[in-house]
A and B are shown apart, each in its own frame.
Chain A
């Protein structure tokens, strides 16, 4: 039994040699190159990178939304192929970046939350919906409203509720707060933190915001140009001592503006 195979038993997410390419011929883009990482059960793992680094592509390959990948992906001990069975989605759910785009504009909150229950043929739909609405801090008053009657933060709570209805073990978070005001971001981050503790969830968070990753996660991987540059613990990040020059530059730029630092910026390929 190889080392990776042994990991599958203890790890919630195992990604090994993941490659994603888009397009063909000269226009082909190698979006993710040989990504590998594991996430333990109950852990919160972050992927940080700038636009085009491939961080969201990794997430989409994990969800099965993008079937064009090669390599090995195992989730909750099950090796995954391009097409995911319906049962897969009871294990893994996702929260999207844009709370305005991720809710169907013509569906009420009730309809949005009933849909997964109907798809998976679960019982006690009413009590499940009520419970999950209370769980995300909205309460029953919001059940029959339309998305356009909600604020950005409330919409994101509905999106989180939708992800929780199926009681998954893994939540994939794609920039869940970057479209929100800072005060609302704090509320959503607190909510996500509480839900993780209460429901024993495993998180995988993709973001460009180092502060959010530092707050939410235990470990993180830094991506640039489709490659994982380095993997480290949040403690290492906080100590300001990343190994790679790229990460150090990213960290410096995230702290705030500095004229000298701007002069010293380099391009990493």
Chain B
């Protein structure tokens, strides 16, 4: 085996990953991921989406170094200046550098998206799979609760929650998460219903496995791909809802450089100083598009029905 470990260069690694007879759990799992990655590489639009999303992460991580000025530093003498070498995207109504605010805003967008996913994914998945697998009484109660949340338009419900909890970025995230999980529960339940009666579930039941093991180990892995796809496609909607709340003054509070709030404050000058509202608008558009393209690409790779 020594010669094998020595030869982990480009070609050797590739052969190791694509081996017909993997020698360990890790090798077979990595090999599987590598095959998916090769499949993903063949979709140029999905790659564009991935690059945009990765760029968002990099910008958020490197914001202090990428932005040459503080996002909060006001300079009333230089307010509403057009884009120039000193201020690449111009300045806003308080003379703050829009480029720096945009770069620092990336991490806020990322935080909103990340937190919503962390809350929504597991909740939707658990509610849907438990309702679908156990059925009966559990199913009825969980799905009626889901229906109640689904019955309201998302932004309106989020508005109501923020109004009750008080404005602020954290409450906006909670409100979005509360309104976003029901569709995932529905998808997970529908998938579970088709999986529940398959032979491989009967087989694991005949090994003596209980419902918890079956749901966690056997049902959820099969629901994951459609859920990941759906979440990625919904990411654009989450960003827009957050921006909408920010725009209405119910999300991020001044002076936070949240993109939606930036558009909101810039709309007063839209006709004369277009860049104040347009630049963050473009940023929202590009990031939403990125997530959408990524979601479409993931659907091709992950959806077993597509193959």
Q: Is the CB of B203 within 8 A of A102?
A: yes
**Which residues on the B side are within 8 Å of A102 (C-beta)?**
199-200, 202-203
Q: Is the CB of A115 within 8 A of B209?
A: yes
Stretch in B19-27, B118-126, B245-253 with 4+ CB within 8 Å of A: B19-27
- Verify if B213 is at the interface (C-beta below 8 Å from A): yes
Q: Is the CB of B206 within 8 A of A105?
A: no
From B29, B32, B206, A65 is in contact (CB under 8 Å) with B206
**Which residues on the A side are within 8 Å of B217 (C-beta)?**
115
Query: Chain B, 72-114, contact with A by CB distance < 8 Å: what is the 0/1 string?
Result: 0000000000000000000000000000000000000000000
In the complex, which residues 184-210 of chain B have their Cβ closer than 8 Å to any Cβ of chain A? 198-200, 202-209
**Which residues on the A side are within 8 Å of B203 (C-beta)?**
94, 96, 102-103, 159, 162
**Which residues on the B side are within 8 Å of A110 (C-beta)?**
25, 28
Stretch in A30-38, A43-51, A143-151, A237-245 with 4+ CB within 8 Å of B: A143-151
- Verify if A119 is at the interface (C-beta below 8 Å from B): yes
Chain B CB count within 10 A is highest, among A105, A106, A162, for A106
**Which residues on the A side are within 8 Å of B28 (C-beta)?**
108, 110, 144-146
Q: Is the CB of B207 within 8 A of A116?
A: yes
In the assembled complex, the CB of B36 is this many whole angstroms from the nearest CB of chain A, namely 12
Q: Is the CB of B24 within 8 A of A89?
A: no
In the assembled complex, the CB of B4 is this many whole angstroms from the nearest CB of chain A, namely 16
A107-B218, A115-B207 are known contacts; what are 19 more A-B pairs with Cβ within 8 Å? A65-B202, A93-B207, A94-B206, A96-B202, A96-B203, A101-B198, A102-B202, A103-B200, A111-B25, A115-B204, A119-B207, A120-B208, A141-B21, A144-B23, A144-B24, A144-B27, A146-B28, A149-B20, A159-B203
- A contact set with B: CB distance below 8 Å: 63, 65, 86, 88-90, 92-94, 96-98, 101-108, 110-111, 115-116, 119-120, 141-142, 144-146, 149, 159, 162, 166
Q: List 16 A-B contacts (CB under 8 A).
A: A65-B202, A88-B208, A102-B199, A102-B200, A102-B202, A104-B200, A105-B222, A110-B25, A110-B28, A115-B204, A115-B209, A115-B217, A116-B208, A120-B208, A145-B20, A145-B21
- B contact set with A: CB distance below 8 Å: 20-25, 27-29, 32, 198-200, 202-209, 213, 217-218, 221-222, 304
